[in-house]
Structure 1
């Protein structure tokens, strides 16, 4: 039996987690004023410097705004803020990466189904070009994480939902580094690149056939397979 060393969180990260949780649960709303550093430090029984560092981290990713002479306030979240929040989460823990994978499954499976229902001629041409580029990468032995990203983006465009496109782009951009590791690891196994291409081909064919149920099934199969490899990569790299 093998145990992995526990990585204790820094105090400021615990404060960040508490404040993010309060915002997520609606206990803090955009425009709400946060406690002054000294007062929050007293309540949490921590040093004032830890609160200051937490506030700076939250300000850096666009969650709060520090106004000179007025105080610290919760900001309205926009698309950039969403990306920054997810990026911060990935930096601070393996669990957040797995949560992003779950989010990706929830969103992209339905995006594939919508694409099957709303596909236009231009979308079809674009998807075919993306798939052909992936095939070319496989033949050349190229990792092809960019082609993969573009293919998935083309699917969200075919779903014709601008908000969906922005959210998926945020998730994909956040996970770009980890997904490159996944594809590199996949390419270490003979025949795996061909399997990966086949999964994308099945997604493409289901969308072209305008079969939402089959599109969901094909996307789920692909994302579950990718998730399994990513977990192996994280365990090996001890993320």
Structure 2
């Protein structure tokens, strides 16, 4: 599995081999590495070079040493991935269009995965939220909370822990962007009905186990929102310029 080292910067070559083996799946999180002595023999390097490489990999969070047990490939905590991504969402929370574009990328795949992986309980939950959304809108509410819950439930039904955590972490921001978009969109006659219809299409595609259709209707829905908000902002800008 390992190859003899022939380069001058020995520890860097060791680091690269281990990183490559992880990338290829030959080494997985939780795997225990062979001993320093055995690894040094296989790579034909000194144990000092092995220790230097291990130290670098430990600093990068790739390896961890457990006293009396050995050196292991580290399990990467989900928060180490989620928190930086969530921070990016929060830093650009005023860029509603860009947030919506990122959502279209994430949620298109989320809907497709939900169509493949959702359980009967997931379908029931999403359907119940959709009913609540319809009731909210018909009663005069803009329904941004139930709208956010609908999209979060789909992310959970996708059965991808990283995606679900990311969506839940930025859920408050999602509610904000939905409040912003719905307040403006509902000023146009017929948009309430269009949005409800689009959510029903998404739900039906997931329920029918049609991943390509689910992806398409989700992306179409979010692009519709982007286009409507863009049109609203352009009209508002024209009116403001006309009044000056």
Q: Same fold (TM over 0.5)?
A: yes
Give the structure with higher Rg (CA). 2
Match status 1:83 vs 2:86: yes
Q: Which runs of 4+ in 1 moved over 6 A?
A: none
The answer to whether structure 1 residue 167 and structure 2 residue 166 are counterparts is yes
Which string of whole-angstrom CA distances, capped at 9 and with x for unpartnered residues, describes residues 31-69 of structure 1?
89xxxxxxxxxxxxxxxxxxxxxxxxxxxxxxxxxxxxx
CA offsets 1:190-231 (integer angstroms, 9 cap, x no match): 221111000000000000000011101110110101111333
Aligned length: 161
Describe the shift of the 1:102–1:84 C-alpha distance in structure 2 as closer, same or farther (beyond 3 A).
same
Supply the distance in 2 between the matched residues of 1:100 and 1:194 (Cα, whole angstroms). 24
Structure 2's unaligned 5+ residue stretches are 1-58, 61-78
Aligned-pair CA distance for 1:78: 4.9
Query: What TM-score, normalized to structure 1?
Result: 0.61
* SS in structure 1 at match of 2:209: coil
Contact 1:108 1:168 (8 Å CA) reproduced: no
Residue 165 of structure 1 deviates from its aligned partner by 0.9
Q: Is the 8 A contact 1:115 1:158 kept in 2?
A: yes
The equivalent residue for 1:200 is 199
Work out whether 1:116 is the aligned partner of 2:115.
yes
Query: Kindly tell me: are residues 210 and 199 of structure 1, through their superposed partners in 2, closer, same or farther at Cα, counting changes over 3 Å?
Result: same
| Distance of 1:118 and 1:99 partners within structure 2 | 28
Partner of 1:176: 175
- Residue in 2 that maps onto 1:105: 104
Deviations 1:62-87 (A, max 9, x none): xxxxxxxxxxxxxx955334323321
Q: 1:98 to 1:185 in 2, by over 3 A?
A: closer
Distance 1:131 1:112 in 2: 15
Moved more, 82-91 or 132-141: 82-91
Q: How many angstroms apart in 1 are the aligned matches of 2:174 and 2:152?
A: 14
Gaps of 5+ in 1: 1-30, 33-75
